[in-house]
């Protein structure tokens, strides 16, 4: 697969998930249940959860190791919302179709490096990473936002420092996309979805299915989740 293929598949999956979860026309800012959508808020709230993967508190657990598994989960969650923000922007501002969006992402400064081998997360300074995360928070909490030279460039740089490149992002994104669909199909929006499965959060269960190089197909992963899901 080419870089364009990876991006096209991820944006297509995100469009489909948003259409099914929020209803057709969600790009106008409201769900089918008339709830306001704020993708920028989604991004900075996930960024806050990402910061909690690191030992940032000066008064508590100062030697706690970084939770790199959770870093991966949060980086992928942020990507869901960045893609949603871009899809919304291109639709409401008539900037072009999905192919035009993908081509524009391919041209972002730092994307080419993101397609190469990721850096070792063990070599990253946690405080430097936190500063990078806070730059993304800053991007998404103001009225104006530079989606490409600001948000996307910073996101790709941060991800690579955390040991995630395009291929890794794709593998985990597809898995989390399936989990998100599974959650919606099992009452997530209504509030009766079970998130802890036999003592493990569903994210952990999903990660356990991704051991090894090859990721399971969408259908195979969904079936694995169904089999593992605790029966009420």
Domains and CATH numbers, the chain: 3-171 (1.10.4010.10)
Mean pLDDT across 89-115: 97
pLDDT-derived band at 218 (thresholds 50, 70, 90) equals confident
The lowest-confidence range among 7-16, 106-115, 128-137, 216-225 is: 216-225
- Helix H or strand E segment including 180: helix 166-185
Q: Say what the alpha-carbon torsion angle 206, 209, 212, 215 is, to the nearest 10 degrees.
A: -80
Q: So what's the pLDDT on residue 157?
A: 96
- β-strand partners of 197: 200
Span 116-158, pLDDT tens digits: 998 888 788 999 999 999 999 999 998 899 999 999 999 999 9
**Share above pLDDT 70 across residues of the chain, in percent, rounded to a whole number:** 97
pTM, two decimals, is 0.87
Higher pLDDT, 142 or 15: 15
Q: Which two tokens stand for residue 160?
A: 């690579």
pLDDT-derived band at 232 (thresholds 50, 70, 90) equals low
Separation of first and last alpha carbons in the chain: 40
The answer to whether 31 touches 23, Cβ cutoff 8 Å, is yes
Q: So what's the pLDDT on residue 57?
A: 92
From residue 143, give the alpha-carbon distance in Å to each of 80, 99, 146, 170: 21, 27, 10, 30
C-alpha atoms less than 13 angstroms from C-alpha of 227 in its C-beta half-sphere: 8
d(CA 7, CA 28): 23
d(CA 152, CA 83): 10
Averaged pLDDT score across all residues of the chain: 92
d(CA 71, CA 163): 10
Mean pLDDT across 145-172: 95
Which residue in this structure is represented by tokens 């009420």?
A: 232
Q: So what's the pLDDT on residue 49?
A: 96
pLDDT-derived band at 204 (thresholds 50, 70, 90) equals confident
pLDDT-derived band at 215 (thresholds 50, 70, 90) equals low
Q: Which of 14, 81, 79 is nearest to 41 (CA)?
A: 81
């Amino acid at each position: 697969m080419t870089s364009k293929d990876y991006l096209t598949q991820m944006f297509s999956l995100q469009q489909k998930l948003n259409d099914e979860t929020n209803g057709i026309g969600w790009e106008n800012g409201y769900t089918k249940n008339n709830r306001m959508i704020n993708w920028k808020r989604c991004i900075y709230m996930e960024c806050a959860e990402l910061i909690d993967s690191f030992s940032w508190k000066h008064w508590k657990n100062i030697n706690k190791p970084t939770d790199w598994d959770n870093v991966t989960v949060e980086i992928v969650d942020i990507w869901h919302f960045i893609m949603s923000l871009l899809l919304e922007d291109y639709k409401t501002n008539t900037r072009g179709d999905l192919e035009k969006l993908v081509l524009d992402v391919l041209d972002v400064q730092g994307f080419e490096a993101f397609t190469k081998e990721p850096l070792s997360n063990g070599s990253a300074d946690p405080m430097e990473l936190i500063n990078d995360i806070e730059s993304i928070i800053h991007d998404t909490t103001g009225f104006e936002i530079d989606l490409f030279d600001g948000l996307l460039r910073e996101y790709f740089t941060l991800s690579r420092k955390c040991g995630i490149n395009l291929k890794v992002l794709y593998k985990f994104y597809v898995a989390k996309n399936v989990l998100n669909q599974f959650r919606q199909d099992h009452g997530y929006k209504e509030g009766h979805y079970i998130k802890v499965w036999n003592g493990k959060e569903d994210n952990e269960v999903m990660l356990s299915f991704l051991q090894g190089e090859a990721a399971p197909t969408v259908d195979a992963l969904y079936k694995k989740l169904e089999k593992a899901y605790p029966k009420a």
